[in-house]
A and B are shown apart, each in its own frame.
Chain A
Amino acid sequence: MHPRDPRSSQFRPGLGGVVLHGAAPLLGIVALALVMDLLVAPLLPEAWYAKVLADIGINIVLAVSLNMVNGFTGQFSIGHAGFMAIGGYTAAAVVYYGSIALWGDAGFHGGYFSYCGLGHFNGPWFGGGDLLFVAACLIGGLVAAVVGVFVGLPSIRLRGDYLAIVTLGFGEIVRILIQQTPGVLPPESAATVPAPGRYLHLGGALGFTNHPFYTTIFWIWLAVGATVLVAWRLRNSTYGRAFLSIREDEIAAAAMGVPILLYKVMAFTFAAFFAGIAGGLFAHQLGSTLNPADLGFAKSFDILIMIVLGGLGSISGAILAAAGLTILPELLRNPPHVWPLLVPVVPIALALLLYRRRRLARGWGILAGGIVLLEIARDLAVAHGVQLSDYRMVFYALSLILVMILRPEGLLGTRELWELWPRKRKGGAGVRASS
């Protein structure tokens, strides 16, 4: 068939297909959030683990969104915490000063799904505070996205290390600007300061305090679902492929008609939006004091490490690495034995050796050796009462060095988890029949 044949554009899917396509994933996201909130969180042995579950979710949002810039379009941004800070402070200001304007106090006005206090909650299912909180997070995301446009603009002229320096500088500028803001106004005197200036009372270096807490596992995992869905759909569309082509070769991408400047800035905008939402969620966690020092370049690096470790461009890799690197320090607090991992690893290594798969056997052998070393280190640390979590950064660095030596492209490279095992790929017969 001649590719310029006009008749091939007449395909229209049925209404049912559209509804299914549109609604099913949204229901799936809500279901994920509900399962995490109502099933997984209560089953955790200690309430404290719920905090880890929440952190995992926020880190997944951050990692998957940064992956849109660094993984999809191949730019090198290391200022992601700056967007998180902008979103977080915007959301906190909207919730705090909004609560004062609406209800005259800065207390909790949410419903069941926003309740993150201790003890039983016997309020309504939904409250006005829920709406305020969700709106605040979205506003935080939008403000961050607008800033993202301006941070993305230098990428027109800069690339690689130079863009990294610009984004690093951006993150630090945001942090320092927030540190210069005056203290949070108490509810009584908030009304005495005129509106635009009022919202700039963000607490400065002391941090934003006394705002109500709304962030629950439910909201976090709702955001996780939405972020992953958008990232996934974006990547598996013609726009996502255009983004990836910029990463692969800018000159060739432009010659194929990809507007690289526009798409680079768009990647920044998307990433900033979701980072802003993650910031809003981060800001309203139980007991949180929103402090600019927590949102400096160390946080940006944490997120960067996650996506590099997971494999730049891989969505499932970013999710896995975000979860793994969030759990790791918690495991180090009270390290479990690691030798049980040898039970599967050693036979696999031996079997590979037996079948003369030298390269694979070596990899698994290194893994077994690593487990032995970890076990020795763990036992020594426990015997001497060393708090391993103090050496969190050392383990970070070591694991990064190991990954960079053994798998320089990250755990999954640019692939997804389920693409690791070779199999018959779909997408052939059905589509070809229609062409």
Chain B
Amino acid sequence: MVSPLFELRHVSLAFGGLKAVDRVDLALPAGGLHGLIGPNGAGKTTVFNLITGIYRPDEGDLRLAGRRLNGLSPHRIAHAGIARTFQNIRIFAQLTVLDNVRVGCHVRARHTMAQAILRTAGHIAGERLIQADARALLDTFGLADHAQELAGSLPHGQQRRLEIARALATHPTLLLLDEPAAGMNPTEKAALKALIRRIRDHYQLAILLIEHDMSLVMDLCEQITVLDYGQVIARGTPPEVQNNPKVIEAYLGEPIPGASANPRAEGATRGNTKNAGTAGTAETRPEDHPGPEGGQG
């Protein structure tokens, strides 16, 4: 097998006594489209927060193109080439749509702050480059007409797209999408599916996707990793995962009737609500809130 672009090796993280992520392995080839699924609270977003440096792993290795990323702060991870979107949209609401994307371009700014204040040639060239880049992205994402609107005033679906555009503005080699289809209607989901494919083909990057909409995941992803209670319980192609008894158990509970003493019985209800495609109930899980100190790294 070719060496993967991105790799998680035996990564673990515990919150106190709770093993949120337990020796997770994951490998993505360049240009791969990989799904990360699992019932609520399985640790999917925590994995994303580990990858993007919001949390540091207790053990294990994160590698991007051979480079070890453990312990880097979030902005350095972004510099290294990993960009993400968030489960609860985190656009810059009071900035314009164009400025949101231009913030994404900031990582590549070559001109210094002194040049910006003195308005030197380097500044002018740099800003033009950013402007052109951001405009091109807005065109690709069909947001060009809204460039000067405040991002917070966009409808939900467009905010999701803007978040992806902003992430792409950093020119990542790995893009993490955290429930991009949450809150979308079937038409929007179909458009999103096409968009994600196009992004992957056009920018030739690897995409790691968390999603609860099973039809979307099964259609899109080439490889799927299933998490439950912080552990990888299955991996493989969509058909393999769909037919894996462990996965069915994690989502639907054990197929033994009246097994209420089993801790998995409670997991059954979790899984069921998720299968119905209602992703909005995830608000109170600890993994959704990196916490006030989270962004400080």
Contacts and interface: CB of A to CB of B under 8 A. Distances in A.
A431 interface: yes
B75 A254 contact: yes
A377 interface: no
Interface string A155-172: 011010000000000000
B95 A256 contact: no
A244 B92 contact: yes
B125 A11 contact: yes
Contacts of A8: 129, 132-133
Given A245-B92, A261-B296, A238 B102 contact: yes
A252 B86 contact: yes
Given A234-B113, A249-B92, A435 B132 contact: yes
Nearest to B82: A255
Contacts of B292: 159
A313 B135 CA distance: 25
A159 B292 CA distance: 9
A57 to B, nearest CB: 21
Given A3-B171, A12-B121, A241 B86 contact: no
B65 to A, nearest CB: 16
* Listed residue (A8, A256, A313, A414) with the most chain B CB atoms within 10 angstroms of its CB: A256
A373 interface: no
A249 B123 CA distance: 25
B104 interface: yes
A36 B218 CA distance: 70
Interface in B280-297: 290, 292-297
B26 interface: no
B61 interface: no
Contacts of B74: 251, 254-255
Contact of A22 (B94, B105, B110, B119): B119
A402 to B, nearest CB: 23
A230 B99 CA distance: 20
A333 B294 CA distance: 52
Interface string B199-239: 00011000000000000000000000000000000000000
Contacts of A428: 147
Interface in A230-255: 230, 233-234, 237-242, 244-245, 247-255
A4 interface: yes
Contacts of B83: 255-256
Contacts of A251: 54, 74, 86, 90, 290, 294-295
Contacts of A9: 110, 125, 129
Nearest to A250: B295
Given A3-B133, A13-B125, A157-B296, A256 B116 contact: no
A1 interface: yes
B69 to A, nearest CB: 14
Contact of B116 (A234, A244, A431): A234
A435 B136 contact: yes
Interface string B99-110: 100111111011
Nearest to B171: A4
Nearest to A312: B94
Contacts of A242: 103, 106
A11 B110 CA distance: 13
B106 A431 contact: no
A241 B169 CA distance: 14
Nearest to B108: A257
A332 interface: no
Contacts of A258: 75, 103, 106
Nearest to B81: A257
Nearest to A413: B94
Contacts of A434: 128, 132
Contact of A252 (B92, B105, B119): B92
A5 to B, nearest CB: 9
Interface string A255-278: 111111100001000000000000
B117 interface: yes
Interface in B34-92: 52-54, 73-75, 77-79, 83-84, 86, 90-92
A424 to B, nearest CB: 9
A18 interface: yes
Interface string B152-175: 000000000000001111110000
A425 interface: yes
B95 A244 contact: yes
B135 A435 contact: yes
Given A8-B133, A251-B290, 15 more contacts: A8-B129, A9-B125, A9-B129, A11-B128, A13-B121, A18-B121, A156-B296, A237-B117, A239-B116, A252-B92, A253-B295, A256-B106, A428-B147, A432-B135, A435-B133
10 contacts: A1-B136, A3-B137, A22-B120, A233-B119, A238-B116, A251-B90, A255-B78, A258-B75, A261-B296, A414-B94
Closest 6 CB pairs between A and B? A257-B78, A257-B107, A237-B116, A435-B132, A248-B92, A254-B74
Interface of A: 1-4, 8-9, 11-13, 17-18, 21-22, 25, 156-157, 159, 230, 233-234, 237-242, 244-245, 247-261, 266, 313, 414, 425, 427-428, 431-432, 434-435
Interface of B: 52-54, 73-75, 77-79, 83-84, 86, 90-95, 99, 102-107, 109-111, 113, 116-121, 123-133, 135-137, 147-148, 166-171, 202-203, 290, 292-297
